[in-house]
A and B are shown apart, each in its own frame.
Chain A
């Protein structure tokens, strides 16, 4: 699945926020690959940095936050052909972090798209749903046609404020997109306002908007949280279908391990800004190696087995303040298996039972298979992913 067809290769990504209390390491040196047409999920509790990871990939980090380190290699031969900077190109891959902001911005909303948890707050309540989706289509169409918004356009819009930005073709395309995401009676629903949509419908509409420019990569940030199980099931079915039909790669950010089980090919478990375990979803959930993954699974009540007792993880998620972060494993204080070794140094990243696709960052789990697995980027623990990270070479 991964390997030669990787769409994204993330290396040593770190995102920090500077606040009055100090520097917060929201994402701390993570590496991950996302294959073409693959659904990779990041699971973790609130504050673990999973949403910041998604936003970092979308280049949506705003001050006081900054992406301080890391490379995001994106496979696109067309883009690679247009980039002059040799250090930013490697075969078909382009390091997005090394590109000028304008180029990065041109990918956002086109090749890269994102959907958010709360669709109600992501839509403008004073415009019809169809019009908002059509705007995304129109903007993308104009970018493709090489049109930009200049001073003249601004002047014209000031003089005639009601002049529609959206062309008829774009609006028709918006209705088609609504139909694509299984909204019944799309032509009429397109003329309705967001408050007339139910939560599940609005989430579908947001997915339609995200599809406006035929993205190759979609970040789905808690796409089903807050929805009823019946509605959630429908949204998951839609995501499965889109991934299959459009061969889209999806980064699924969620705290719901059930959603992960149904959708994700591979799963990364995140805690305190770091990846603790990465592997095929089946392995991570059924043969968890990291004590934190085990703890998460044990704290879930089982809908099929009432006799299973739940064991909560004691304590709370740690603060991510730089000066309060421990030297060693950030989970050590809550971990039942913690020893002095855990607290003295960052945990090593090793494959589980020699399986290179399943890696874990823990002193007490995994084993060195004689391979060189960790990439010395930064000082924190690194879960390097499937690809043996000798950089991105020879495609």
Chain B
């Protein structure tokens, strides 16, 4: 059943709700979820009453998952995907926003009846060796949740355990072993069996195959597909591996610095990719057996979630960042100028650092012409730009920097080269009823 969704798309136009003939019921709804971590205030902070810094791990995420569906969450490390999963399950208190499971507010539910909630939603962790108690046998590990929730007598519990073990592809005579005697793949099977014991509706899988070898990963992926149908499960799959996401998920949400930048049916996101970040992720994956691909590289420098860039958070790395209105510049020239601007704005480039670099490249620090040429070359800025106004503003800035006036140089570019991407937060653009993108470019193209 879960495959219907991915098949139905491609055309990008059909709602994701074409599961069978019955109208789908929503299982999980997340609206405006935020999770910020605060630095512990030190003595000085308390004395002077200064604000402590915030790490915006998850910053306003909204989506929903239908019953029987698999939603993938993908992004680079530090994008907040694991924090999202943990906040959903109430392992962290959200800073703001709301999570509803079968129509009930999760955090209220947890406060009143945590056990009742955990029977509905379970977690499978990334590292199967550190989440199983090494002193318990497999039987005890898988039985533990049943004991905590007082499910039946011990015979009944044992029967459930034996049933589960067979379902996940282990044998009953392995039940008296300890986790240390198992391979990584077998341990992950135990983790899955344990999560299934309470017959939950939602399973959150946090990088379930990242620690496994490819041949074992394939076994676990297929097992997940089987149990989803058999136990009528809904999955939220966190992974940084795009091929795993594509194999398992009906829909996928791409996260960047705490925000969802693109969400839609897997087929649409992979084939009709609209967000430049999703594009960059897809283009970075080395393809097996393909030898004539030129791989594009994007700036590997991920900004800190403590102080995320204004406007569109991806603008510091975006190859398609929009030039300011009124300039007539080819994208490549604009990108070079923008990179120069970002560096000088963030203090990565100052007159002192330029002098340093020049010295290392055996240039005369007082030779302004040579310095300008060097600066242009290192950012790939051509000697003359197509747009005369841009040319003169840039020249002013370069000259100021070479002359040692970092502040003037900064003012010049900060004033005259402002991309809409850094000044305005992109709105959500629905390019199909189920495919949403947060990007100025897409916003403009649909206007």
> A residues near B, CB below 8 A?
45-46, 172, 175-176, 179, 184-185, 187-188, 198-200, 228-234, 236-237, 255-262, 281-282, 285-286, 295-304, 306, 310-314, 316-317
Contacts and interface: CB of A to CB of B under 8 A. Distances in A.
Interface string B182-221: 0101100000000000000000000000000111111101
Nearest to A256: B286
B285 interface: yes
B215 A230 contact: no
B297 A310 contact: no
B266 A282 contact: no
Contact of A262 (B76, B214, B246, B295): B295
Given A232-B286, A301-B218, A314-B219, 11 more contacts: A200-B300, A229-B281, A237-B297, A295-B215, A303-B282, A306-B6, A306-B267, A310-B218, A311-B218, A312-B215, A316-B183
Interface string B294-312: 0101101110000000000
A174 to B, nearest CB: 12
Contacts of A229: 76, 240, 242, 281, 284-285
A185 B295 contact: no
Nearest to B219: A312
Contact of A304 (B215, B287, B360): B287
B214 A299 contact: yes
B287 A261 contact: yes
A46 to B, nearest CB: 6
A306 B218 CA distance: 14
Range of interface residues on chain B?
A: 35 or more
A312 B244 CA distance: 14
A312 B300 CA distance: 33
A45 B285 contact: no
Contacts of A312: 215-216, 218-219, 222
B295 A236 contact: yes
A261 B353 CA distance: 39
Nearest to A281: B291
B214 A296 contact: yes
A299 B218 contact: yes
Contacts of B46: none
Interface of B: 6, 76-77, 183, 185-186, 213-219, 221-222, 240, 242-244, 246-247, 266-267, 270, 280-291, 293, 295, 297-298, 300-302, 348, 353, 356-357, 360
B345 to A, nearest CB: 14
B76 A228 contact: yes
17 contacts: A179-B360, A184-B301, A187-B356, A198-B302, A229-B281, A256-B286, A261-B286, A261-B288, A261-B289, A296-B215, A301-B218, A301-B247, A302-B243, A303-B246, A303-B287, A306-B266, A316-B183
A231 B77 CA distance: 10
A233 B213 contact: no
B214 A45 contact: yes
Nearest to A303: B243
Given A229-B242, A229-B281, A306-B270, A184 B287 contact: no
Contacts of B217: 299
A337 to B, nearest CB: 16
Given A185-B348, A306-B6, A306-B266, A300 B214 contact: yes
A31 to B, nearest CB: 25
Contacts of B282: 303
Contact of A300 (B243, B267, B357): B243
A262 B284 CA distance: 11
User: 3 smallest A-B Cβ distances: which pairs?
Assistant: A258-B286, A299-B218, A312-B218
Contacts of B244: 301
A232 B280 CA distance: 12
Contacts of B6: 306
A187 B352 CA distance: 12
Nearest to B213: A45
Given A230-B281, A261-B290, A300-B288, A313 B218 contact: yes
